[in-house]
Amino acid sequence: MNCRSEVLEVSVEGRQVDEAMLALLHTILLHRSTGKFHYKKEGTYSIGTVGTQDIDCDFIDFTFVRVSSDELDRVIRKAVAEFKDALNITGSDGMGQISLEFYQKKKSRWPFSDECIPWEVWTIKVNVVNLANEQERQICREKVGEKLGEKVINVVEVINRHEYLPKMPTQSEVDNVFDTSLKDVQPYLYKITYQITDSLGTSVSTTMRRLIKDTLAL
Amino acid sequence: MESDLSPQDKKDLDKFIKFFALKTVQVIVQARLGEKICTRSSSSPTGSDWFNLAIKDIPEVTHEAKKALAGQLPGIGRSMCVEISLKTSEGDSMELETWCLEMNEKCDKDIKVSYTVYNRLSLLLKSLLAITRVTPAYKLSRKQGHDYVILYRIYFGEVQLAGLGEGFQTVRVGIVGTPTGTITLSCAYRTNLAFMSTRSPGEEEGGAFAGVEDSQEVCTTSFSTSPPSQMVAPGKEGGVPQVPMQPCHGAQADHGHVSSCPTGDATHHIPATPPSSGEDAEALSRSSEVKSTSPSDPLDATFTRKVGAFVNKPTTQVTTAGLDLPFAAFAPRAYELEENDPMVHPPDSPATSSPLQGSLHSQASSDNGGQTQEDFVMVDFKPAFSKDDLLPMDLGTFYREFQNPPQLASLSIDVSTQSMAEDLDSLPEKLAIYEKNIDEFDAFVDTLQ
C-alpha cells in the first residue's frame, strides 16, 4: 500500500505561525476524526457525534473550523508551540516544516515491536518572513488569510478523492487504527513531527534520528 | 453483480440524500448568519444526529428547504441551490454566491449504501463546513448588520448563475458516488464585488446592473439571516426594512468637541503611505478637489461629522472611517472644511501610488454632480485582538482616528512672528497681573495642603 503524501506551503510572519499551523492541522483533523465508537455485543458499533467550532484568528484575516474537542486542541497547540520555538531558536532564516502523519499499527510477533505504517502524510512547509512596518503587516494579514483559504480548498480536494482509508476495525483492532485516548472524538492514529532548516539550507532532520532509533529498536 | 439496488438500500439512499440536502442547507445558511457557530461533541450517540455531526436544525430554514424540495429529491437535472445575496439598507442588492447540490448520471454500483455512502456524505458535510468559511461572502456576512444584510433563497431545478456577474469562480466541495448517480456539491461565487450603482444622495436607486430587477422579485421569498433584532418578519419585500443611515458615532458626538482638524480625515490623507484601501485612495484624491469645488459648509467640527462633497446640503452621514464597510465607495462622502488647516489640505500627493488613485482623481475632477465610483474592493483595517462589534468606536477606528492628532494650538503659532524681545516685554505685564491675584493663588495653594 502506498502512502499518500501531500505538501502545503505557506509564507507567514512570525506572529502568524501558530494560527496558520493550527488552521491547517485542524482542518485536516476535522476530516480525519469520527465520533467515539461504541461496540455492541453483536459485533456492530455505533458512532458518537462530532461537534464543530469556528475559530477566528487574531493575526490573520481567517476563520477555520475545528472539531469541538478541547483535549485534541491542547495536543495540537502543544505540538505547534514546540515547532514555533524550534523555528525561533535557529537563526533568523525561519524555514521549517511540520508533518501530520496518519498511520496504522500492525501487530508483530515477539520480539519484533509493532510496525507503524503510514497511509497519509500531510507536510506543511513554513517560511517565516520579517516585516518592517504596520502597513505591511496589515497587508500580510489579508494575504495570508487568502492563502490559507486556498490551502483549505486544496485539503478538501485531496480528501474528496476518497482514496485509501483504513477499514473500519473490529473492537479488538480499534486501537490499531484510531486514537481512542480522547473523551469526545476519535481521530485516526496520527503523529506530528517537524523539521527545521537552518540557514545553510541543510535540514536538521529529526526524522533521520527517528529512523535510526527505530532500526535499533527492532 | 446485481445492478439494481435492494429495496432497503434504495429506501436508505433516498433518506440519506434527503437529509443530506437538508443538512447542507443548514450548514450554508448558518455560516452566513454572521455569528460563530459552536456545537458540542457527544460521545454517546443520540440517534438524531445525522451523519454523526452536530449540526443544529433551524426550523425556519428546514421549512424553507422542504418547501423548495416539495417532496422531491435532488436528482439528475433537478439541482437544489442555495443562493446567498447581499442587500444594502438603501435597497441595492447583489448575488454573492450560489451553492449547488447536483446529481449526475455516473453511477457507482458497487458501493455500499449504508456504510460507505453514509460516511462519505458525512465527510462531504465536514468539507462544506470548512469551505463555507473560506469564500468571500463569509467575511461579508460576519460584518452584516448596520448597512447591509445577507439573504438566502433556496430553489430547486435548474442552476441560475447569471446574477453572479462576470468572472465568477467555482469551487468544488466534493463528490460522492452512489448506485443511482454521483452527488456533487459546489459553490459559484462572485469575484466582482463592485456595485455599479450611480446613486447620488437623495436620489432613488437606479442604474444598478440588469440583475437587480430580477433579484428584487426573487428576493421576495428571501429571508434575512441577520439577528432578529434588526430584521422584520419575512413576507415583506426582501424582508428588509430601510435601515436609516446614521453617523456611526451618534448625534451625541456633535457637541463639545474641539473644532480643530478632524483627525479622521487626516488619517486618510497621509501622502507618503500608499493607500491600504480603495476608500483611502479616494479620500486622498477628493481632498485636493474639495478646496475648489465644494461649498464651504462648516459644521460643529467633530471627528466624525462630515459634509457631503459636491452637495449643497449635508445629508445623513455614514462615517466610513468608523465602519467596516465593504462598499464604502458609494456611501455619501463628506469632508470637514478647515481652509487653513494643513492637515485637511495636504500638499499634493506624490506620484500616483496606485493606478486606482490616479483614475479616481481624474474622475472626481470631471464629475461634479454624481458620485460614480471606480471598481474596487475594500480592504479593511482590522487590528489584532480587537473585537469587531457593534460598538461605534472599536480599536481599528480609534487607531485610524488618532494616528495623526492635530497640532497643539500653542505649537502652531508661527515662531518667527514672536521674538524673544517681545516675550520679555510682556513679562512685566504678566507679573503685575499675578501680583494682583496673589490672594487667589495663596488660597489655591492652601487647598492643596
Give the integer Cα–Cα distance in Å for B264 and A174. 62
Residues of chain B with pLDDT > 70: what percent? 52
Of A193-197, B233-237, B342-346, the range with the highest mean pLDDT is: A193-197
pLDDT tens track for A100-123:
999 999 888 777 788 899 999 999
Confidence of residue B1 (pLDDT cuts 50, 70, 90): very low
Do A49 and B381 make contact, defined as CB atoms within 8 angstroms? no
pLDDT at B419: 65
pLDDT at B264: 37
Higher pLDDT, B180 or A89: B180
pLDDT at B348: 45
pLDDT at B400: 74
Higher pLDDT, A181 or B352: A181
Inform me whether the C-beta atom of residue A177 falls under 8 Å from chain B C-beta atoms: no
Q: CA geometry: angle at A135 spanning A130 and A141, to 5°? A: 70
| Grid cell in block for residue B143 | 460584518
Give the integer Cα–Cα distance in Å for B402 and B394. 12
Please check the confidence at residue A87 and state whether its pLDDT lies above 60. yes
pLDDT at B67: 92
Residues of chain B with pLDDT > 90: what percent? 29
| Grid cell in block for residue B60 | 425556519
Alpha-carbon dihedral sign for residues A71, A74, A78, A80: positive
- Of the ranges A122-131, B4-13, B163-172, B418-427, which one carries the lowest mean pLDDT score? B418-427
In this complex, which of A59, A159, A162 lies closest to B384 when CB atoms are compared?
A59
In this complex, which of A35, A61, A68 lies closest to B382 when CB atoms are compared?
A61
Name the average pLDDT for chain B: 67
Please check the confidence at residue B20 and state whether its pLDDT lies above 80. yes
Give the integer Cα–Cα distance in Å for A186 and A159. 18
C-alpha separations of A178 from A144, A161, A175, B23, B45 in Å: 33, 21, 5, 27, 18
Inform me whether the C-beta atom of residue A132 falls under 8 Å from chain B C-beta atoms: no
| DSSP reduced 3-state for B447 | helix
pLDDT tens track for B254-309:
333 333 333 333 333 323 334 334 444 343 334 333 333 334 334 333 344 455 55
Residue of chain A minimizing CA distance to B187: A153
Kindly report the pTM of this predicted structure. 0.62
Please check the confidence at residue B251 and state whether its pLDDT lies above 70. no
Q: Are B320 and B248 in contact (CB under 8 A)?
A: no
In this complex, which of A63, A149, A156 lies closest to B127 when CB atoms are compared?
A156
Q: How far is B308 from chain A (nearest CA, A)?
A: 28
pLDDT at B174: 95
Of A190-204, B214-228, B409-423, the range with the highest mean pLDDT is: A190-204
pLDDT at B171: 94
Q: Which amino acid is at B401?
A: E
pLDDT at B114: 80
Q: Specify the DSSP class assigned to residue B271.
A: S
In this complex, which of B46, B384, B385 lies closest to A49 when CB atoms are compared?
B46
Confidence of residue A43 (pLDDT cuts 50, 70, 90): confident
Give the integer Cα–Cα distance in Å for B449 and B447. 6
Q: How far is B433 from chain A (nearest CA, A)?
A: 50
pLDDT at B410: 63
Looking at the DSSP bridge assignments, the partners of residue A115 are A106
Please check the confidence at residue B322 and state whether its pLDDT lies above 50. no
Confidence of residue B376 (pLDDT cuts 50, 70, 90): low
pLDDT at B111: 85
